[in-house]
């Protein structure tokens, strides 16, 4: 869920950067990137799509044939690259952390199942009963294990009774 929100934020930032890049290109009609790229005769949506393509390449290790031609475009491009470096690094770090958490949760779940099977073997519990217990736990315990309970949220104690 958090990855989806972060991706949406990155896309929104890319939209803003693309709008800025298009605005700069449209404001300098004689020397800017739009004129130099021979797309001045194209429609607004095409110019926006090209700007968005340029923006996305600043945030990722991709390439484009669009580049700065004026000092204003060069300055904007440098600022975007610096911001993109921070945002892209944070996004990759966040994805890595999320994947590590998922892996840790999976490992913990697998460890609990191994412990349960070991318990069944050590206590001579039949396969049928062990399978029923495992099925019950998968359905009722493991699926609800990570739920947040009101008792776990200490800050809710300060909320007046009429708001609870």
In angstroms, rounded to a whole number, what is the distance separating the alpha carbons of residues 68 and 55? Answer: 12
- How large is the average pLDDT for residues 66-89? 91
* Count of other CB atoms within 10 angstroms of residue 125: 14
* Count of other CB atoms within 10 angstroms of residue 12: 10
* DSSP H or E stretch at residue 129: helix 127-137
pLDDT tens per residue across span 43-74 = 889 999 999 999 999 988 888 888 888 889 99
Q: Which residues of 40-63 are buried (b: 16+ CB within 10 A; e: fewer)?
A: eeeeeeebeebbbbbbbbbbeeee
The pLDDT of residue 38 is 80
Domain residue extents for the chain: 2-97, 99-147
């Amino acid at each position: 869920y958090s990855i989806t929100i972060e991706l949406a934020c990155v896309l929104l930032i890319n939209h803003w950067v693309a709008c800025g890049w298009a605005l700069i290109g449209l404001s300098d009609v004689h020397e800017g990137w739009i004129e130099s790229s021979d797309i001045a005769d194209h429609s607004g949506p095409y110019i926006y799509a090209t700007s968005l393509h340029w923006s996305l390449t600043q945030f990722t290790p991709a390439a484009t044939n669009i580049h700065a031609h004026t000092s204003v475009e060069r300055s904007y491009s440098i600022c975007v690259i610096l911001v993109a470096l921070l945002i892209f690094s944070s996004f990759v770090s966040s994805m890595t952390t999320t994947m590590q958490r998922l892996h840790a949760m999976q490992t913990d779940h697998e460890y609990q199942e191994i412990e349960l099977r070991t318990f069944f073997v050590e206590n001579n519990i039949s396969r049928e009963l062990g399978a029923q217990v495992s099925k019950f736990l998968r359905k009722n315990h493991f699926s609800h294990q990570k739920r947040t309970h009101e008792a776990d949220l200490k800050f809710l104690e300060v909320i007046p009774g009429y708001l609870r």
